[in-house]
Homo-oligomer: A and B are copies of this chain.
Amino acid sequence: MEGAGLAESGRGRERVELIARTAVRVIAREGLRGLTHRAVDRAAGLPDGSTSYHARTRARLLEITLEHMAAEEQQALTAFFADAPPTRTEAARLLAEFVHTSVHTSAERTLARFELALEASRRPELRRIYDRAGARFRDTAEATLRGLGSPAPERHTRSLIAWCEGMVLDSVAGAGTAAPPTLDDLHTGAAELLNALLPPLPQ
């Protein structure tokens, strides 16, 4: 939690979180092009000028939005991987649930996260926030794969994250959106992938 915005306390802090949460919704629905201080004021039901007061610049608005999302994803990640270390079967289930939740329960946050990922390719200050959040996810995945006996944890982490991200992207914005994968399909797919990466289980 860095920067003036999120260092505010009490009511100011709640206000910043409302702004960030609303910005996620605006980005998901209208793209980054639709994200203006005024659009956030209106969507949040705040008086004109509120968003500008807490996030002077557009860059700052993007930052507090991404910081908010990163904190939420961190909470979700911790909740999903609370009881370490999972068995291979549990890991497949957790991955499937994580993808399923990203596609269904958190579709707006997911869309906004992809928008900000692309924007981060053009904005080093966003890149840093995105990478910090990504590193936590990556570290958790790598520790899990290592615990499960992966012989190449770094490369396998990349494969695993690619599969998850690709499944999520394809489900919210890809040509496969007509029929997003069921939880069962995701479970089978995650198990297949883990079996590909990890040594054979003892019979």
A residues whose Cβ falls under 8 Å from a Cβ of B: 29-33, 111, 114-115, 117-122, 127, 130-131, 133-135, 137-138, 155, 158-159, 161-167, 169-170, 172-178, 181, 185, 188-189, 192-193, 195-197
Q: With A31-B118, A170-B165 in contact, do A185 and B155 touch (Cβ < 8 Å)?
A: yes
A106 to chain B, nearest CB (A): 14
Count the copies.
2
Choose from B31, B165, B177 the contact partner of A174 (Cβ within 8 Å).
B165
C-alpha gap A137/B137 in the complex (Å): 30
C-alpha gap A122/B173 in the complex (Å): 9
Q: Using Cβ atoms and an 8 Å threshold, which residues of chain B touch A138?
A: 175-176
Q: Is the CB of B122 within 8 A of A174?
A: no
A7 to chain B, nearest CB (A): 24
C-alpha gap A161/B162 in the complex (Å): 10
Choose from B161, B176, B181 the contact partner of A166 (Cβ within 8 Å).
B161
The 7 closest A-B pairs by CB, nearest first: A134-B175, A196-B196, A166-B166, A162-B166, A165-B166, A162-B167, A33-B33
